[in-house]
Amino acid sequence: MKKTTILAALILAPALSWAEPYPEGDAAKGAKVFKKCVSCHMIGDGAKNRVGPHLNGIIGRDIANMADYKFSKGMLAYAETAKLWDEATLDAYLANPRKTVKGTRMAFAGLRKEKDRHNVIAYLKQEAK
């Protein structure tokens, strides 16, 4: 291992250990909240793209990078700055899609309640494997 790699690891390790984990939600409650999403999104076995892309494997997936779905210019531009859908990025988007991604085609106003977002994300993590 190179000295620079070891040095970087020593510098970054304490900062990474301070990062708070994303709050756990209730997947069963998230399934109920997700009913607001099913007119545009599918998840699970046999999920296909609709108005919005399917959400299988959303956590950890590259933003705006699915060959079989045409993303908006706004989402493509957002993908230049935010590379992956992690819990925090998805939480911000679900809170207010149009504020987070200027020019998104997603018409949904967002989930205002933080607990609803935590629950939906728990559901997505559970169902989208």
User: 5 falls in which pLDDT band (50, 70, 90)?
Assistant: very low
| Rounded CA separation 122/87 (Å) | 9
15 belongs to a structural domain? no
51 belongs to a structural domain? yes
Q: Give the range of the structural domain holding residue 28, as residue numbers without chain letter.
A: 24-127
Question: Which residues, other chains included, contact 4 with Cβ-Cβ below 8 Å and sequence gap of 6+?
Answer: none
Check: pTM over 0.75? Answer yes or no.
yes
Tell me the pLDDT tens digit for each residue of 27-63. Answer: 999 999 999 999 999 999 999 999 999 999 999 999 9
Higher pLDDT, 2 or 23: 23
52 belongs to a structural domain? yes
53 belongs to a structural domain? yes
- Give the model's pLDDT for residue 16: 46
Nearest Cα to 98, choosing from 74, 117, 70?
A: 74
User: Which CA distances in Å does 41 have to 6, 14, 32?
Assistant: 43, 39, 14
18 belongs to a structural domain? no
**DSSP assignment letter at 62:** B
Least confident of 4-8, 61-65, 72-76, 116-120: 4-8
Total domains present in the chain: 1
12 belongs to a structural domain? no
CATH number for the domain harbouring residue 49: 1.10.760.10
